[in-house]
């Protein structure tokens, strides 16, 4: 079956050029980069590895020495938050939001068990931090605020400039989880008050299993894994040279026309089509200022997993925020934080696009959505209630 | 196909049997809530003399397992007496579909509970119920057995999650061998409350995590 893949917010299809590059490296540059002082092959590996680091550093205006490769955004978030808190000599209060990604929320929970003071801020109904609430919770012990550049489920872009300005005023370190929104929203560390940035390859058509953490000069971080002294003694373990090079290549291949403007058109088209065809829908988050490749919609009175499964039977791949889909049997905590409405969370579907999707795929998706919702609505006991 | 469902379940999901409503139903029941993301409504037509279920229809708001178990239940009870229908277990319904993933067993429980509620509704309407008896600890345990351990696909009493149940003066305390931040803690707690809140002489329910 030819699939229509609309789960690009979870992971994107790697570029052909990225795959080719990775295969070449696996075949030819298998020597360890840390063996650079022992043999030429190690030195050659080191060269391509550092070149990749350089590309990633440049993409946010940073220097190579401020980029640490990790296994992905989960590890970057862990290293940023736990690493920063544990290295800090003074202050024990950290702030994040109720809609942050689980790796941030669970890192905070771990720190809480270690004795740190954690504030999880409620957000407004679009998913953004309320600046006045942030001001209220900051105290003399606050050391870090961590938030997402764009929300991982509804795509709302944070008003990050106003948040970092508050942090700057109080001299608090900032961690931005940019695993959603990286490259689409240009960030330059030279003009933005930020100490730590999480980056990942797998949402920009790079490989899965590689990410990076930007660490501002003179920011203390305590390493999490014991082993060798790799990655400036911040991340032990063999470097994954093929994946790092693949990451670098994906950054080079980013194209605003195809990766932002094209997906924005598809998103607009789907919104229009769904509104035309289906009566009871809501767009979740802030439709006006959100990621161009992500659309989170609730089909009211029908349940998301059934919708997603019907889509799958038609070869259309989407995900849902319903409880059945989650591994905890609880509905999406992001949508619950935004709306406190179970039905809205259970009926939510995320459509996310990439340069590889076409207009025709979107038109088909909207047609299929109409058929599915009609079918499920017929057997729904909720139909008379709203 | 790598989805965690069998062929029979997917058939019921795609083309559910007996879906819809019975306008002049003799009895009706709805179980579940939008909060759980699972609702089943059943409508019954029962022969007054033989107590045989002449017709049954269902509505569902839920996942594939929810729709399929409700659908298969309607097949299982059509033509049976209400006593025979009461004997149908969630295990039987799940087996009929070729099994369910452990995390989905609660769907089968919901379908069976809805059936029993609809029958109870019929019995109440038709004066077949004797006086209300005070609730015993065993009855509470029986109800809690309708809450599934999502890892094992068996109930939380059998799998040792329930440490103790205390029932005094209308107040139930359920002690669970579970950490409060266990991934299923919130779900299990909600399900216990849902099972017990409709019992007439239970006024307060307290779920405690002891680990």
- Quick check: A342 and B187 CB within 8 A? no
Distance between alpha carbon A385 and the CA centroid of its chain, in Å?
Answer: 36
Q: How far is CA A173 from the centre of its chain?
A: 20
For A307-339, the pLDDT digits (tens) are 999 999 999 999 998 876 666 778 899 999 999
**Torsion angle (degrees, nearest 10) of CA A177, A181, A185, A190:** 20
Summarize pLDDT for B135-156 with one digit per residue, the tens: 899 989 988 888 888 888 888 9
Q: How far is B133 from chain A (nearest CA, A)?
A: 32
Is B1 a domain residue?
A: no
Average pLDDT over residues A342-353: 95
CATH of A255-378, one of 3.30.1180.20, 3.40.50.1220, 3.40.47.10, 3.90.1150.10: 3.90.1150.10
Q: Tell me, what's the pLDDT at A325?
A: 66
Return residues 179-208 of B near A (CB < 8 Å): 181, 183-184, 186-187
Tell me the pLDDT tens digit for each residue of B24-42: 999 999 888 877 788 999 9
Nearest CB partner across the interface for A346, out of B37, B59, B67:
B37
In A, which residues are within 8 Å of B19 by CB distance? Answer: 378-379
pLDDT at B151: 83
Pick the residue of B34, B68, B106, B110 with the most A CBs within 10 A to test the interface with A by mutation. Answer: B34
* Pairs of residues, one from chain A and one from chain B, whose beta carbons lie less than 8 Å apart: 79
Same domain, B112 and B190: no
Q: Say if the Cβ atoms of A306 and B35 lie within 8 Å.
A: no
Higher pLDDT, A154 or B197: A154
Nearest to A303 among B41, B63, B187 (CB): B63
Task: Say which of B39, B59, B150 has its CB closest to residue A329.
Answer: B150
List all residues of chain B from 18 to 37 with a beta carbon under 8 Å from chain A.
19-20, 30, 33-37
Would you call B13 and A306 a contact, using CB atoms and an 8 Å cutoff? yes
The shortest CB-CB distance from B62 to any of A303, A327, A345 is to A303
Mean pLDDT, chain A, whole residue set: 95
Spell out which residues of chain A touch residue B20, defining contact as CB-CB under 8 Å.
Answer: 378-379
Question: In this structure, are B75 and B143 located in the same domain?
Answer: no
Residue B96 within a domain:
yes
Question: Rounded to whole angstroms, how far apart are CA atoms B166 and B140?
Answer: 9
Residue from B10, B36, B120, B141 carrying the catalytic annotation = B36
Token pair for A38: 């022992």
Q: Pick from A110, A164, A119: which is nearest to A139 by CA?
A: A119
Buried b / exposed e over B19-48, threshold 16 CB at 10 Å, is beebeebbbbbebbebbbbbbbbbbbbbee
Q: Is residue B15 part of a domain?
A: yes
Nearest to B59 among A312, A346, A380 (CB): A380
| Catalytic choice (B107, B148, B176, B188) | B107
Please check whether residue B2 lies inside any domain of the structure.
Answer: no
Helix residue spans in A143-240 (DSSP H): 160-169, 230-233
The partner residue sitting opposite A382, judged by closest CB among B61, B63, B67, is B61
Are B147 and B56 members of one domain? Answer: no
Cα–Cα distance, A304 to A321 (Å, whole number):
7
Q: What is the pLDDT of residues B80-133, one digit of tens each?
A: 999 999 999 999 999 999 999 888 888 999 999 999 999 988 987 887 776 678
What digits encode the pLDDT tens for the residues A136-147? 999 999 999 999
Asked if A165 and A194 count as a contact pair (C-beta separation under 8 A), the reply is no
B209 touches chain A (CB under 8 A): no
CATH class of A16-253: alpha beta
Q: How far is CA A11 from CA A22, A103, A201, A226, A319, in A?
A: 18, 17, 9, 29, 12
DSSP state of A318: -
**What integer pLDDT is reported at residue B5 of this predicted model?**
84
Query: Rounded mean pLDDT of A291-302?
Result: 96
Please, which pLDDT band fits residue A386 given cuts at 50, 70 and 90? very low
Q: What percent of chain A has pLDDT over 70?
A: 98
Are B89 and B18 in the same domain? Answer: yes
Predicted confidence (pLDDT) per residue in A210-236, tens digit: 999 999 999 999 999 999 989 999 999
Domain check: are B91 and B113 in the same one? Answer: yes
Of B83, B104, B125, which residue constitutes the final position of a domain?
A: B125
- Please give the angle made by the CA atoms of B202, B106 and B142, to the nearest 5 degrees: 40
Is residue A166 pLDDT above 80, yes or no? yes
CA distances from B77 to A206, B25, B146 (A): 54, 15, 20
Q: Say which CATH number the domain at B202 has.
A: 3.30.300.130
pLDDT, average across residues B50-63: 95
Q: How far apart are the first and last CA of chain B?
A: 40
Q: Could you say which of A109, A329, A342 has the minimum Cβ distance to residue B184? A: A329
For residues B193 and B119, membership in a common domain is answered with no
Is it the case that residue A384 has pLDDT exceeding 60? no
Establish if B131 belongs to a structural domain. no
The answer to whether residue A385 scores a pLDDT higher than 80 is no
Domain count, chain B: 2
Active site residue B63: no
Q: Quote the CA–CA distance of B118 and B124 in Å, as a whole number.
A: 10
Q: Are residues B118 and B75 in the same domain?
A: yes
Write out the residue range of the structural domain in which residue B53 sits: 7-125
User: Rounded to a whole number, what is the distance in Å from the CA of B134 to chain A's nearest CA?
Assistant: 33
Q: Looking at the domain assignment, is residue B162 inside a domain? A: yes
Cα gap A242→A48, rounded to integer Å? 9
Which chain B residue's Cα is nearest to A382?
A: B61
Token code pair at residue A204:
């920009």
Boundaries of every domain in chain A = 16-253, 255-378
In the predicted model, what is the mean pLDDT of residues B49-55? Answer: 95
Strand A117-121 vs strand A93-97: parallel, antiparallel, or unpaired? parallel
Which chain A residues touch B150 with a CB distance below 8 Å? 329
Q: Is B6 on the interface with A (CB under 8 A)?
A: no
The model carries a pTM of 0.90
Q: Mean pLDDT over residues A73-87, rounded?
A: 98
**B112 and B144 both lie in a single domain:** no
CATH of the domain at B14: 3.90.1010.10
Q: Which B residues, 95 through 134, put their C-beta within 8 Å of a C-beta on chain A?
A: 103-104, 106
Q: Which of A185, A281, A324, A368 is catalytic?
A: A324
Q: Helix, strand or coil for residue B209?
A: strand
The DSSP letter of residue B164 is E
Beta bridge partners of B39: B32, B61
CB atoms closer than 10 angstroms to residue A75: 23
User: Which residue in chain A is spatially nearest to B101 when comparing CA positions?
Assistant: A324
Q: Are residues B185 and B100 in the same domain?
A: no
pLDDT at residue B55 tops 90: yes
Domain boundary among B82, B104, B125: B125
**Yes or no, beta carbons of B37 and A303 under 8 Å apart:** yes
Residues B111 and B32 in one domain: yes
Q: Is residue B18 in a domain?
A: yes
What ipTM was reported for this prediction?
Answer: 0.85
Residues B147 and B119 in one domain: no
**pLDDT recorded at residue A143:** 98
CA of A281, closest CA in chain B: separation in Å? 16
User: Which of A303, A319, A386 to probe by mutation at the B interface, max B CB count within 10 Å?
Assistant: A303
- Residue in A with minimal Cα distance to B107: A324
> A306 and B30 in contact by Cβ < 8 A?
no
Of B125, B159, B178, which residue constitutes the final position of a domain? B125
Q: Do B118 and B29 fall into the same domain?
A: yes
What's the confidence (pLDDT) of residue B131?
A: 63
SS3 content of chain B, % helix, strand, coil (to 5): 35, 25, 40
């Amino acid at each position: 079956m030819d699939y229509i893949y609309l789960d690009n917010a979870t992971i994107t299809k790697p570029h052909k050029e990225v795959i080719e590059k990775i295969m070449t490296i696996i075949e030819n540059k298998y020597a360890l980069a840390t063996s650079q002082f022992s043999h030429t092959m190690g030195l050659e590996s080191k060269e391509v590895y550092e070149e990749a680091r350089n590309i990633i550093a440049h993409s946010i205006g940073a220097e190579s020495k401020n980029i640490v490769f990790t296994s992905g955004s989960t590890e970057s978030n862990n290293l940023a938050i736990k690493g920063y808190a544990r290295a800090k000599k003074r202050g024990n209060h950290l702030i994040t939001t109720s809609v942050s990604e689980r790796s941030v929320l669970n890192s905070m929970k771990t720190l809480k068990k270690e004795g740190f003071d954690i504030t999880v801020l409620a957000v407004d109904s679009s998913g953004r931090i309320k600046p006045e609430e942030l001001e209220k919770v900051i105290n003399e012990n606050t050391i870090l605020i961590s938030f997402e550049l764009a929300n991982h489920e509804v795509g709302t872009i944070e008003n990050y400039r106003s948040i970092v300005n508050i942090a700057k005023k109080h001299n608090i370190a900032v961690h931005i989880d940019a695993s959603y929104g990286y490259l689409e929203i240009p960030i330059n560390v030279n003009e933005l008050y930020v100490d730590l940035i999480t980056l990942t390859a797998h949402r920009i058509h790079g490989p899965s299993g590689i990410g990076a953490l930007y660490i501002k000069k003179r920011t203390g971080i305590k390493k999490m894994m014991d082993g060798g002294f790799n990655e400036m003694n911040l991340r032990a373990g063999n470097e994954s040279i093929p994946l790092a090079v693949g990451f670098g290549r994906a950054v080079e291949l980013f194209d605003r026309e195809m990766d932002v403007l094209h997906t924005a058109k598809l998103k607009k088209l789907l919104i229009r089509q769904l509104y035309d065809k289906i009566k009871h829908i809501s767009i979740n988050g802030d439709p006006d200022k959100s990621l161009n490749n992500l659309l989170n919609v609730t089909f009211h009175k029908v349940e998301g997993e059934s919708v997603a499964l019907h889509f799958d039977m038609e070869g259309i791949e989407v995900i849902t925020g319903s409880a059945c889909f989650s591994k905890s049997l609880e509905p999406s905590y992001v949508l619950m934080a935004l709306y406190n409405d179970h039905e809205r969370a259970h009926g939510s579907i995320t459509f996310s696009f990439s340069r590889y999707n076409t207009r025709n795929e979107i038109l088909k998706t909207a047609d299929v959505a109409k058929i599915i919702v009609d079918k499920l609505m017929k057997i729904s006991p909720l139909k008379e209630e709203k | 196909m790598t989805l965690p469902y069998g062929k029979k379940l997917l058939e019921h999901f795609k083309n559910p049997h007996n879906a819809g409503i019975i306008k002049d139903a003799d009895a009706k029941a709805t179980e579940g809530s939008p909060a759980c993301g699972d609702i089943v409504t059943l409508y019954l037509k029962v022969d007054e003399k033989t107590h045989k279920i002449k017709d049954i229809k269902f509505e569902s708001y839920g996942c594939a397992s929810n729709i399929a178990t409700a659908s298969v239940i309607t097949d299982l009870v059509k033509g049976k007496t209400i006593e025979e229908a009461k004997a149908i277990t969630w295990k039987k319904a799940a087996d009929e579909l070729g099994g369910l993933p452990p995390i989905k067993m609660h769907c089968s429980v919901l379908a069976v509970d809805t059936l029993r509620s609809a029958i109870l509704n019929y019995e109440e309407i038709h004066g077949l119920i004797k006086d209300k008896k005070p609730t015993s600890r065993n009855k509470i345990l029986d109800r809690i057995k309708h809450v599934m351990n999502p890892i094992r696909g068996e109930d939380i009493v059998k799998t040792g999650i329930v440490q103790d149940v205390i029932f005094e003066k209308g107040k139930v305390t359920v002690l669970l061998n579970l950490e409060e931040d266990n991934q299923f803690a919130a779900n299990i707690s909600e399900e216990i409350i849902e099972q017990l809140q409709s019992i007439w002489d239970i006024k307060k329910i307290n779920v405690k995590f002891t680990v």
